[in-house]
């Protein structure tokens, strides 16, 4: 798959379809692949594709330094691609101005890969490789959070206290999240302060709960936040819980249907809540 990937990227750069390819590079096998931004056709040899390409690169599409490089092509997996769908629905990207290179993926040995139903990208402009998408019933996809919810409230609170005690508020979760794109995050508002900026248990609960709510029904479960958390906090659990709520109550899975109406971003005159009218 690597050769077709490199050839595709070379062609896109050579014929001027795109000015930059956002993909994976890797110096040595012992160190994870990192994002590369290829602007010259002769540099496509830097691109790699292997079972260590866990990172979701979509956030880079929103970075002004990358936007300044010109029209992009981006390498995505079926799971990452869902973030593109949401970004388009939320008017953050113009899909016609991005070439999406979807990679068939057999899994990256991460927890979400065990319940993946997006091995084969569905919305890419160019797809490389061929694999099959298995159906994953909801009970399997949410097993992790369901098992957690079976514990009594006291153990769950104790778990989150121990986890969030470690949060240092580096905001890596926010910075790496493809769907955290506010120009000014609520935690950075300091005149007046909206949220404790302190990395105390109270401040950390406030931060993670707010972030989770802001991502409710939007998070696509790419696990980028869990992956970058330097304290190893299982943020996936929070996200799964919100995703389960949105699927159970609204039959909605973010990033799976470009035509679907957003739960939080759509209203109708017929909505029962008065504040809408």
Partner 1 sequence: MSQVISKPALRRLVELWLRQGKRVIAPVQIRPNLVSYQPVRGPEQVALEGFVRPLNSIKEVVFPRHEKLFQYRVRGKQIDLLPAPLPDVEQVVLAARPCDAAAFPILDHVFNWDSRDAAYNRRRELTTVVTLACTEHDAHCFCTTVGSRPDDPRGSDALLLEVSDGTLEVRCVTDKGQSLFAGQTEASARTGRAGPGPERRADLELIGPLLERAFERSEWPAWTNRCLGCGACAFGCPTCHCFDMVDEGGPTCGARVRNWDTCQSGQFTLHA
Binding interface with partner 1 (CB under 8 A): 28, 30-31, 34-37, 59-60, 63, 65-66, 166, 168-172, 174-176, 188, 190-191, 193, 196-200, 203, 228, 230-232
DSSP 17: S
* Closest C-alpha to 20, from 2, 37, 36, 44: 37
**Token representation of residue 33:** 């692949």
Q: How far is the CB of 6 from partner 1 (least distance, A)?
A: 17
Q: How far is the CB of 166 from partner 1 (least distance, A)?
A: 6
Residue 67 and residue 12 in contact, taking contact as beta carbons nearer than 8 Å: no
Q: How far is the CB of 194 from partner 1 (least distance, A)?
A: 12
The CA distance from 216 to 168, in Å, is: 23
Bridge partners of 39, per DSSP, are: none
Of 148 and 252, which CB lies nearer to partner 1 in the complex structure? 148
**Token representation of residue 161:** 């206290």
Q: How far is the CB of 230 from partner 1 (least distance, A)?
A: 4
Q: How far is the CB of 145 from partner 1 (least distance, A)?
A: 17
* Closest C-alpha to 170, from 211, 221, 216: 211
Q: How far is the CB of 48 from partner 1 (least distance, A)?
A: 15
HSE value, Cβ hemisphere, 13 Å, CA-based, for 24? 24
Residue 2 and residue 49 in contact, taking contact as beta carbons nearer than 8 Å: yes
The CA distance from 126 to 245, in Å, is: 33
């Amino acid at each position: 798959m690597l050769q077709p990937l490199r050839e595709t990227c070379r062609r896109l750069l050579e014929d001027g379809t795109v000015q930059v390819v956002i993909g994976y590079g890797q110096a040595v096998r012992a160190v994870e692949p990192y994002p590369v931004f290829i602007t010259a056709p002769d540099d496509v040899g830097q691109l790699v594709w292997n079972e260590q390409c866990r990172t979701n690169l979509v956030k880079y599409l929103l970075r002004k330094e990358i936007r300044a490089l010109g029209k992009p092509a981006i390498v995505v997996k079926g799971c990452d691609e869902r973030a593109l769908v949401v970004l388009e629905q939320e008017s953050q990207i113009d899909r016609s101005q991005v070439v999406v290179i979807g990679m068939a993926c057999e899994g990256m040995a991460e927890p979400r890969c065990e319940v993946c139903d997006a091995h084969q990208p569905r919305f890419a402009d160019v797809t490389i490789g061929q694999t099959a998408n298995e159906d994953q019933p909801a009970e399997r996809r949410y097993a992790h959070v369901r098992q957690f919810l079976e514990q009594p409230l006291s153990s769950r609170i104790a778990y989150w206290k121990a986890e969030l005690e470690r949060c240092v508020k580096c905001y890596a979760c926010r910075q790496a999240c493809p769907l955290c794109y506010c120009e000014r995050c609520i935690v950075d508002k300091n005149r007046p302060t909206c949220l404790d900026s302190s990395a105390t248990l109270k401040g950390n609960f406030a931060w993670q709960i707010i972030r989770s709510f802001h991502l409710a029904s939007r998070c696509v479960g790419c696990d980028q936040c869990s992956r970058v958390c330097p304290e190893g906090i299982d943020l996936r659990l929070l996200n799964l819980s919100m995703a389960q709520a949105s699927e159970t109550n609204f039959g909605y899975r973010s990033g799976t249907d470009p035509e679907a109406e957003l739960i939080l971003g759509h209203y109708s005159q017929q909505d029962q809540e008065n504040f809408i009218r």
